[in-house]
Amino acid sequence: MRTQPRAYHHVAIITHPNHAGTDALAAEVGQLLAKNGVDDICSFTFEQDEPPQCLWEQELDLVISIGGDGTMLHASHLCGPRGIPLVGINMGRLGFLTELTRDNWQEHLTTLFGPDSPARLEQRMMLHGAHSRGDKLLNEWDVLNDLVVVRGRFVRPITLSVSVNQTPIVGYVADGLIVSSATGSTAYSLAVGGPILLPEMRNMVIIPISPHFSIDRAFVLSDQDEVSIRLETEHEAVISPDGKQSVMIENGDVLTVSASQFTADFVRFSSKRTFYRNIIQYMERNPIALKLYNENAEQD
């Protein structure tokens, strides 16, 4: 664990284009930063084809994400490879990756500029995925949550063979297979029955999606391991990196997953104990399910 020692002179604000109020909040955040001596501030939405030059040409001290978990995921893909600390203000429904809210962001961001800031950097392992066909490398990704190999449009299971460190360990007939990081253990992996890992753990989880007469337990691996997944199916299948645009794969294609050389550095203001409290609250009172329930109750 590292403390947060940086001075803040160059800051970027990334916003979700479809969340109401993000532009107004970004303007307020910019005003607070300017009052605290930030020399250069740039803003952009994550749906822009090309992020602004400040992200590539300047050594940014901080990126502030305004949106939900999807915005934080996108921001982590930009910040991780560049070693830029990232803090999130939740404007979405769940906000498990974000820590600040519309009600407390001013208080916490202001503390960053004090001499005894309570902020710390929470370093989260990212995953590196490489998609190959024979000897040809077709795609590469560095992701925060997970890499998923899954069936396509046809409602048929796919067959996958999995090796760890070049040793075959298991074959699956399933809807798909997830390889997640510790951060991703509370995302898709959790939804299919995977274990919950502390976000700073440097582990990978392998877990199948709806396995058919196949091993239905998760494997937890170290950051020194390498996972190879080979597709053994003629019909349509895809790779989904962190839920981004899927890539079609063919019979015999291989996805290799290992710990990335990059980390996502989240600026945190709360203690580690907060993770346990939050995960229990989310599981007991899923805010998405509650929102839908309340909307339906109002209509009845």
Q: What is the pLDDT of residues 205-258, one digit of tens each?
A: 999 999 999 999 999 999 999 999 999 999 999 999 999 889 999 999 999 999
Q: Do 212 and 174 belong together in one domain? A: yes
Catalytic sites, residue numbers: 69
* Residues 80 and 168 both lie in one domain: no
Cα separation, 19 vs 15, in Å, equals: 8
Q: What would the two tokens of residue 144 be?
A: 């925060």
| Each residue's pLDDT tens digit, 76-132 | 999 999 999 999 999 877 778 998 999 999 999 999 887 778 888 999 999 999 999
- pLDDT per residue over 256-288, tens digit each? 999 999 999 999 988 766 776 677 666 665 666
Q: Which of 55, 84, 118 is the last residue of a domain?
A: 118
Residue 25 lies in a domain: yes
Same domain for 91 and 24: yes
In a domain, 300, yes or no: no
Domain that holds residue 140: 126-261
Q: Verify that 137 and 79 share a domain, yes or no.
A: no
State how many domains the chain has: 2
Answer whether residue 198 is part of any domain.
yes
CATH number of the domain at 66, please: 3.40.50.10330
**Whole-number Cα distances in Å, 26 to 29, 37, 102, 166, 279:** 5, 17, 11, 48, 28
User: Is 298 a domain residue?
Assistant: no
CATH number for the domain spanning 257: value is: 2.60.200.30
Q: Which pLDDT score is estimated for 282?
A: 66
